[in-house]
């Protein structure tokens, strides 16, 4: 008898996993996007500029104020030492600012938006000190304003690190 040969049964496809690679890739992209959306929504500090359009249109006033302060010629330096925030200021000629100049300001935490008022004591010779007792260590932004006679004003914004 003559044997009739039958073709060999087809082998199972070995590439069945390829569509699952695409499905897995899309799941990975979706998971990463979900993590990023969660992180951005829960870490927003709430620090925004109210009425930003109007403030942008009034930017010439900011430039005028900067030019006025530069023409005033006052120089000031902020340091953190011995549990206090120290400020030393001089006039255009390098002479310490007179006793009639007052200093006010706040420390603002950029991360949380927390603000603490500073109570400055005049030390004389164009120097002031505010106690930093009970202040949390880390990065803060000092927003200070020196006011003198004839509406002379110097506004300072400087980041400081508290120990």
Please provide residue 18's backbone torsions phi and psi, each rounded to the nearest 5 degrees: -60, -45
Q: If phi over 0 gives left and psi between -120 and 50 gives alpha, with beta otherwise, what is residue 28?
A: alpha
First-to-last C-alpha distance (Å) of the chain: 100
Residue 100 has what pLDDT? 86
Residues 125 and 45: beta-carbon distance below 8 Å: no
Residue 107 has what pLDDT? 93
Question: Which domains does the chain show, CATH number per domain?
Answer: 74-162 (2.60.40.3340)
Predicted TM-score (pTM) above 0.95 = no
Residues 98 and 86: beta-carbon distance below 8 Å: no
Residues of the chain where predicted confidence (pLDDT) is lower than 70: 1-3, 45-49
Residue 47 has what pLDDT? 62
Q: How far is CA 89 from the centre of its chain?
A: 25
């Amino acid at each position: 008898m003559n044997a009739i040969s039958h073709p060999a049964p087809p082998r199972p496809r070995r590439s069945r996993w390829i569509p699952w690679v695409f499905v897995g890739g899309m799941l990975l992209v979706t998971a990463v996007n979900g993590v990023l959306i969660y992180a951005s929504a829960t870490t927003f500090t709430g620090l925004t500029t109210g009425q930003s359009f109007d403030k942008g249109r009034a930017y010439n006033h900011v430039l005028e104020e900067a030019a006025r302060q530069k023409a005033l010629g006052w120089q000031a330096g902020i340091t953190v030492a011995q549990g206090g925030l120290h400020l030393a200021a001089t006039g255009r000629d390098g002479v310490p600012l007179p006793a009639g100049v007052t200093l006010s300001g706040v420390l603002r935490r950029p991360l949380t938006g927390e603000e603490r008022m500073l109570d400055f004591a005049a030390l004389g010779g164009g120097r002031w000190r505010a106690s930093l007792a009970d202040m949390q260590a880390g990065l803060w932004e000092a927003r200070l304003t020196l006011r003198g006679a004839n509406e002379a004003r110097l506004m300072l914004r400087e980041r400081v690190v508290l120990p």
